[in-house]
Amino acid sequence: MDWGMQNRLNQVIKDDGRCFFLPIDHGYFQGPTRCLENPAETIKPLLSYCDALFVTRGVLRSAIDADNSLPIILRVSGGTSMVGKDLANEEVTTSIEEVIRLNASAVGISIFIGSDYERQTLLNLSKLVNKCERYGIPVMAVTAVGKELEKRDARYLGLCCRIAAELGARIVKTYWCPDFDKVVDGCPVPVVMAGGPKCETEKQVFEFVYDGMQRGAIGINLGRNVWQSKQPVATAKALQAIIHKGADTEGAQEIFNQTKNNEDS
Ligand code: 5RP
């Protein structure tokens, strides 16, 4: 692997081969998502627990301190909204010059397999890989489902992840699902888990993250289940322990309780 590509991958995936990405890109189609109205305030207490931020160029420029930033994974697809006709109708929004100018460590792009825009979004990914590989910039493919959350099973997500890897993604981000090892085993590049809508309890989050890690994921890209939690710092600290410190679900819950109690007192 070329030095630049290896070096950028090493910025976002830590020495233990694992990663905790914090996505704050939701506004690109959801507008001012709950708890992300002011991204700079939301992420300030969380940064020390995470390895990289997943963010659009607009929020990067307006909310992230350039002097002291985590590595950046730049969200470079979009063009749709929650109130528009079809969330899948995305294009690439950000030029390769902008990606380089912003010193991104990686870029992220959604693909919508099985949608009316399958071909378009897969070609978006392929063309982006062609451009980014020239400059040693890793592409993370996001297997998106739009509003069709029920699609998230191992057969469908396994198909999406494999196709993303075949087209050149260096990392694939997908949803956790039961039998997650089937998704990971069919994907020749590292897989990270997204969270989806907020779970009812933090324990449910720790359970699926721990299960996914046991079944071969290298980490998480978890947004709403972190920063929409009533205890975002305790949640982030507990997740960091699962990802990087070998904690299981109970260990994570203990860290969560302890941190929450310290915060409350
Ligand atoms: C939004 C994204 C998010 O990065 C991804 O869905 C992870 O966030 P969450 O854990 O809140 O689902 O791609 O388009």
Ligand 1 atom at minimal distance to the Cα of residue 108: 13
Q: Which residues are catalytically annotated?
A: 173
Cα(265) to centroid of ligand 1, in Å? 32
Cα(254) to centroid of ligand 1, in Å? 26
pLDDT value at position 131? 98
Record the tokens describing residue 126, joined without a space.
């392929």
Cα(13) to centroid of ligand 1, in Å? 18
**Pocket of ligand 1 contains residue 158 by CB under 6 Å:** no
The pLDDT tens digits for 184-220 are 999 999 999 998 778 999 999 999 999 999 999 999 9
Mean pLDDT by 10 residues, the chain (265 residues): 96 98 97 96 97 98 94 98 95 98 98 97 98 98 81 92 98 96 98 89 96 98 96 97 98 96 74
| Spans of all domains in the chain | 3-195
CB 173 within 8 A of CB 221: yes
CB 222 within 8 A of CB 238: no
Residue 61 CB burial class (10 angstroms; 0-12, 13-18, ≥19): exposed
The CATH fold of domain 3-195? TIM Barrel (3.20.20)
Q: pTM value?
A: 0.96
Separation CA 214–CA 246 (nearest Å): 10
Pocket residue to mutate for ligand 1, from 54, 111, 220, 225, most atoms within 8 A of Cβ:
54
Question: Torsions phi, psi of 115, nearest 5?
Answer: -95, 175
**Pocket of ligand 1 contains residue 233 by CB under 6 Å:** no
Cβ neighbours for 4, distance < 8 A, ≥ 6 positions apart = 135, 136, 137
Radius of gyration, alpha carbons of the chain:
17
**Pocket of ligand 1 contains residue 26 by CB under 6 Å:** yes
Ligand 1 atom at minimal distance to the Cα of residue 28: 14
Pocket residue to mutate for ligand 1, from 21, 26, 222, most atoms within 8 A of Cβ:
26
CA-to-CA separations, 245 to 31, 122, 157, 195, in angstroms, rounded: 35, 36, 27, 20
Closest CA to 73 of 126, 6, 134, 21: 21
Separation CA 23–CA 26 (nearest Å): 8
